[in-house]
Amino acid sequence: MEAKEKVEFLLEQMRLFLAKKDHVRAEIIHKKIQPAMLDKEGMQDLKIRYQRQTIEFHTRTSDYLAICKAYRAIFRTPKAQADPEMWKPALEHTILFLILSPFDADVSDILARIKEEKLLAQIPVFESFIKLFSTDTLVKWPLDHQNVWRAHPVFTDPEFGEKRVKDLEKRVIERNIRTMAMYYERIRTARLAGLLGLDIEKTEQSLSDLVSSKQLVAKIDRPAGIVSFVRAQTATELLNDWSSDINKLLTLVESTTHLIQKEIMVHKPVNKMDVDQPAPCE
């Protein structure tokens, strides 16, 4: 069986499993298709079809980053690049699902790459979103151009639309907290809540979620009403600190041993026979 025929067969199987809501078998079939196979010549249509089924598959679990990557793969195909009716919605969906994704290194990398995309200038509202989430400033909620993004299919979906609006608000809050962590070492909880436009309870919950997901290192002193932000150490910095601490410990052990030996020699009882006994003659 040729590669193209094999991919067509697997995609049809996956389509049927998705139609039957059998997501377990759909995932098994999905893993059998290697994305590298779809980059070969004459496989563009199959690649787009595969990515659309990937989007449908990950929509069930709200895996926003996987959906973003699938739309970006569609956007980067030569067929989509040549047709504004294809690349514009693909790029718009890529940007919105990227913003919806929990922040990590992958999100940061894709954000930087999309920022350099030349076609971005042709969709100014979405270009403003990329610029907004690329700067180290506080983002107000609701976002600008609300009449545009709220009317987008991503947020008008009857099943997932409202959940995505709530997740977008959550991402804005998380981003604002990360931004403030860059400028503050310590801040009063009430002041932090005021800058976020939230009550103290929701502020503490949002902060706890960020710490739990390891996006941020922070401590809350509730009696004092103070939040302390601690910069996360890199692996190299952590190793250097550990090495320095070990060296200090070994130095202390060596100094202590030396002092103990000195005290023993000073207070060691003198043997009288050793003093009175004449030295042996040569």
For residue 91, give the nearest of 122, 133, 51, 58 by alpha carbon.
122
Which residue reads 């601690």 in tokens?
230
Q: Does a structural domain hold residue 72? A: no
Predicted confidence (pLDDT) per residue in 47-57, tens digit = 999 999 999 99
Amino acid at the residue 194: G
| 89 prior amide bond cis, ω within 30 | no
- Residue 41 has a pLDDT of 83
Contacts of residue 50, Cβ cutoff 8 Å, sequence gap at least 6: 7, 11, 33, 35, 38
Q: Does a structural domain hold residue 135? A: no
CA 244 to chain centroid, in Å, comes to 30
Q: Does a structural domain hold residue 208? A: yes
Predicted confidence (pLDDT) per residue in 117-174, tens digit = 999 999 999 999 999 999 889 999 989 899 999 999 999 999 999 999 999 999 999 9
- Domain with 233, as residue range(s), is 184-256
Q: Does a structural domain hold residue 78? A: no
Q: Does a structural domain hold residue 125? A: no
More confident residue, 277 or 16: 16
The domain spanning residue 233 has which CATH number? 1.10.10.10
Strand partners for 186: 228
| Residue 66, burial from CB neighbour count under 10 angstroms (0-12, 13-18, 19+) | middle
- Residue 42 has a pLDDT of 85
* Full-model pTM: 0.81
Judge contact between 132 and 115, C-beta under 8 A: no
CA 52 to chain centroid, in Å, comes to 24
Q: Does a structural domain hold residue 195? A: yes
Q: Does a structural domain hold residue 206? A: yes
CA 70 to chain centroid, in Å, comes to 18
Q: Is the pLDDT of residue 196 over 60?
A: yes
More confident residue, 78 or 280: 78
SS3 83: coil
Predicted confidence (pLDDT) per residue in 221-238, tens digit = 999 999 999 776 677 877
Q: Does a structural domain hold residue 247? A: yes
Judge contact between 65 and 106, C-beta under 8 A: yes
- Residue 64 has a pLDDT of 97
Number of domains in the chain: 1
